[in-house]
Structure formats: C-alpha cells, structure tokens
Amino acid sequence: MFPDFDITSPGALAQGRNKVMRNTMYLLSLSLVPTVLGTLFGMTPAFIGFMIKSPLMASIAMLAVMFLLVMGIQKNRNSTSGIVLLLFLTFAMGVWLGPLLAIVLHSANGAIIVAEAAGGTAIIFASLATIATVTRKDFSFMGHFLFIGLILLIVASLANLFLHIPAMQLTIASIAVLLFSGYLLYDLSRIITGGESNYIVATLSVYLDLYNIFVNLLFLLSALSGNNRR
C-alpha cells in the first residue's frame, strides 16, 4: 500500500511530490481507525474514572507516551516501524480525546456539536488543501511565527490550569483553532512544494494539526452552546 518509505531519490520531482501526498492521504485515512478505537476506550467509565481520580498523573502519563511515540516515529521515519508507531500514537490520541467526547455527547445536542466540530474541521482541511494545491505557494515563512505562537499558547494554557478563567480558556481555544489552521496550511504546503519528502512524518504533522483543530472546535462549540454550564 505504501511502496516507498524514503522519498528522497533524484528523478521526477513532481511525481515524487504527488506520491508523498497520495501516501500521506492513505496513511491519514488509515490512522482514523485506531483513533476511533482509542476514543471508544477513552469513553469507558473505567478510564474516565481514572482521569477524574488522578488527572495530573493521567495527563503526565499520556504526555510521556505521546512524546516517546513522536520521537520513535521520527527515528523510524523510513521503515514500517514508523507506520506502526504512528498508528499507536493515533490510538493514544483517541484515548486522550475519549473523556471530552463522552462529556459532550452526554450533554444537550451533543451529537450535533460533535458533527459540527467534525464538519468544521473537514471544511478547514478542504479549504486550506485547495489553497495550497492551487497556489503552490511556499508558506515556509510562516514557520517561525507559528512556532512562537505555539510557545505562547502552551504558556497561556499552563497558566490557566491554575487560574481557571473560563473566558481565557475560550480565548485559548479560539487562538488554537487559528494557530493549527496556520500549521495545517504550512504542512500541506511543505508536502506540495517538496519541503517534506517523507510521508510518515507528513502524516504525523497533518494528523496533529487536524486533531488539535477538532478538539478546540469541539470545546468552543460546546462552551458556546451553554453545555459547559450543565
């Protein structure tokens, strides 16, 4: 299904870029399967109970697992091991998503909110993919600005863990949607222009962009619907 793991050989550059994009989309679609399975596990009462009982320990454990998996994917980016580790990562991300999804689904109009978040994520992806494909512009200049924005977002998120300001959380989620939309355009542009020649790493980047867009859209829509007060 994925014939080449290192798309760096000389030759027809356009054909190579198309292959990276095609394999990235294949692997991105495949990654949805473990994500769904992980989400179902994360929605179980046992796991939600663990999150409620030990939120700090659960958060540290999940972040550690995700960090190790990302490092492993980078190290094995040119082998089938990279694909296996990527699928494990998407399962872990699904587990992490489970409790939030369970809360939203058990609220008023929960299914509609989830569908709207998924639809919004799909629209953002389709729109930015179209822009990157049609213009074929190099958006690599955005990298430094996006990285600075990511650092500030992380700092603000950590600060709000102690401040617990609802308005600040809404602001953080709104900025996160914009920030990761920027990252999505940046990553898609790198694939199309040849800046990223490894489809495993490309899939990892695009997946994380879409995941963060969806999660923050889900939070925003749920909060704006008034479910956060239920």
Tens digit of each residue's pLDDT, the chain (230 residues):
454 444 444 445 667 778 889 999 999 999 999 999 999 999 999 888 888 887 778 878 888 999 999 999 999 999 999 999 999 999 999 999 999 999 999 988 999 999 999 999 999 999 999 999 998 888 989 999 999 999 999 999 888 878 888 899 999 999 999 999 999 999 999 999 888 889 999 999 999 999 999 999 999 999 988 765 44
187 and 131 in contact (C-beta within 8 Å)? no
Domain ranges of the chain: 13-229
61 and 47 in contact (C-beta within 8 Å)? no
CA pair distance 129, 185, nearest whole angstrom: 7
Angle, helices 199-224/13-42, rounded to nearest 10 degrees: 50
45 and 221 in contact (C-beta within 8 Å)? no
What DSSP letter does each residue of 43-100 carry, written as one string? TSHHHHHHHHH-HHHHHHHHHHHHHHHHHHHHHTTTSHHHHHHHHHHHHHHHHHHHHH
Structure letter (DSSP) for residue 123: H
Tell me the pTM.
0.89
CA angle 226, 120, 211 (to 5 degrees): 95
User: Residue 80, class by beta-carbon neighbours within 10 Å (0-12 exposed, 13-18 middle, 19+ buried)?
Assistant: exposed
